[in-house]
């Protein structure tokens, strides 16, 4: 476990007004780097993520996904429509280094906690705003939700085969990428403040995160209007990469092949027809035929058999693991990606930050807070600081 005082963001105070995923995970990334994060939640119900359960699973009264997103934070409750609570929150804002929010455009303005208002209270603050589709344009007021952002960005048309309809990514990829961009922007602005003494505004959206993910496709199309998305057959893994790039069934599972010269693959596997394909154009035009030849061959033996053959020849390949196989693998154990956090008598196994600093993984024991569990402690602490200021 890394001591928080040794981490690069130790001593910084983050106010997390956000809910569910993108904003809370951005704040979590800062907490993992040593920042103190106070989660500001509405009374009674709190963050919607406390009850919106991933796979319907809960531990100690909160969803497992909430525990994963909000470990190592404190929680206070405040009704931002109540003048007394709002003044209390503004007092916290005066002390904070960072504020993160992901309300729809216009909400923080109505409350009186938009960037201009917050900057007037604390000119040095870094204000981070995560939205669905930005603050202007025809989509600004649409619900900022991961599947909807994926769909508007066109991403589902890059997955699956030509026989499929749109296939979204089966995880909240837009939310997770947005959390990374917000955290990166905040840390960059903290460096800027260190150099200049000035705070600043960080903004990004689910849509911008999805468009950035597709930078190769968009850049190519923007410079060549003939580029279109044309998905391949059921074994293809990329609409813009020819065979053998894809996944293939074996006798007991699946194997993935990345970019590999077809003559090399053909000679290694005894497929003479592949050995004769040297041009990229032919690899494209005969994609379905090539994939079927490989699929028929791989189906005759086990994944381990083919890996032994291909690995020995330095072919870019790998097994396609199930969730159970991943968790049972030596590779998963070696990377030490889990940590155990504690809340009361509950022991919760979750993931750690993917970052290592000076060779050490970042981990801590503090679980997600109960709703408002730090109300008294935070109020007393900052009231004393106000008196002493």
Give tens-digit pLDDT for 179-223.
999 999 999 999 999 999 999 999 999 999 999 999 999 999 999
26 within 8 A of 18, measured Cβ to Cβ:
yes
DSSP annotation of 366: B
Break the chain into its structural domains and give their ranges. Answer: 4-213+339-388, 246-328
d(CA 378, CA 37): 12
Q: What CATH superfamily is the domain 246-328?
A: formyl-coa transferase, domain 3 (3.30.1540.10)
Encode pLDDT of 110-164 as tens digits.
Answer: 999 999 999 999 999 999 999 999 999 999 999 999 999 999 999 999 999 999 9
Token reading at 110:
């109505």
Token reading at 215:
């930078």
Mean pLDDT value across the chain: 96
Q: Specify the CATH number of the domain 4-213+339-388.
A: 3.40.50.10540
- pTM of the predicted model, to two decimals? 0.95
pLDDT at 3 over 70: no
Encode pLDDT of 291-315 as tens digits.
Answer: 999 999 999 999 999 999 999 999 9
Region of residue 270 (phi > 0: left; psi between -120 and 50: alpha; otherwise: beta): left
247 within 8 A of 239, measured Cβ to Cβ:
no
Cβ density class 322-361: b for 16+ within 10 Å, e for less: eeeeeeeeeeeeeeeeebebebeeeebebebbeeeeeeeb
């Amino acid at each position: 476990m890394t001591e928080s005082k040794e981490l690069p963001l130790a001593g910084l105070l983050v106010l997390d007004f956000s809910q569910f995923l993108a904003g809370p995970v951005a704040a979590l990334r800062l907490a993992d780097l040593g920042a103190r994060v106070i989660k500001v939640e509405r009374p009674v119900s709190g963050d919607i993520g406390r009850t919106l359960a991933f796979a319907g699973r809960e531990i100690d009264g909160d969803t497992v996904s909430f525990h994963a997103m909000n470990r190592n934070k404190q929680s206070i409750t405040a009704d931002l429509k109540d003048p007394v609570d709002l003044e209390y929150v503004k007092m916290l804002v005066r002390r904070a280094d960072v504020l993160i929010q992901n309300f729809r455009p216009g909400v923080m303005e109505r409350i009186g906690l938009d960037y201009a208002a917050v900057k007037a209270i604390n000119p040095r603050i870094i204000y981070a705003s995560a939205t669905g589709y930005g603050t202007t344009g025809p989509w600004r007021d649409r619900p900022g939700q991961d599947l909807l952002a994926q769909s508007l960005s066109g991403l589902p048309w890059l997955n699956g085969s030509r026989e499929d309809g749109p296939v979204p990514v089966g995880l909240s990829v837009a939310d997770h990428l947005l959390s990374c961009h917000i955290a990166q922007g905040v840390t960059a602005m903290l460096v800027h403040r260190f150099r200049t003494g000035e705070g600043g505004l960080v903004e990004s959206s689910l849509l911008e995160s999805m468009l950035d993910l597709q930078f190769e496709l968009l850049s190519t199309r923007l410079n060549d209007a003939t580029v279109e998305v044309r998905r391949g057959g059921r074994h293809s893994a990329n609409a813009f990469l020819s065979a053998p790039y894809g996944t293939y069934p074996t006798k007991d599972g699946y194997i993935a092949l990345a970019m590999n010269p077809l003559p090399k693959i053909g000679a290694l596997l005894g497929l003479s027809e592949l050995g004769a394909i040297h041009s990229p154009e032919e690899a494209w035009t005969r994609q379905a035929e090539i994939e079927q030849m490989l699929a028929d061959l791989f189906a005759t033996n086990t994944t381990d058999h083919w890996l032994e053959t291909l690995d020995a020849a330095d072919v870019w390949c790998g097994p396609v693991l199930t969730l159970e196989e991943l968790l049972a693998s030596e590779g998963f154990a070696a990377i030490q990606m889990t940590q155990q956090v504690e809340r009361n008598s509950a022991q919760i196994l979750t993931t750690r930050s993917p970052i290592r600093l000076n060779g050490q993984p970042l981990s801590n024991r503090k679980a997600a807070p109960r709703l408002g569990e730090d109300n008294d402690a935070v109020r007393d602490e900052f009231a004393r600081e106000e008196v002493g200021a």
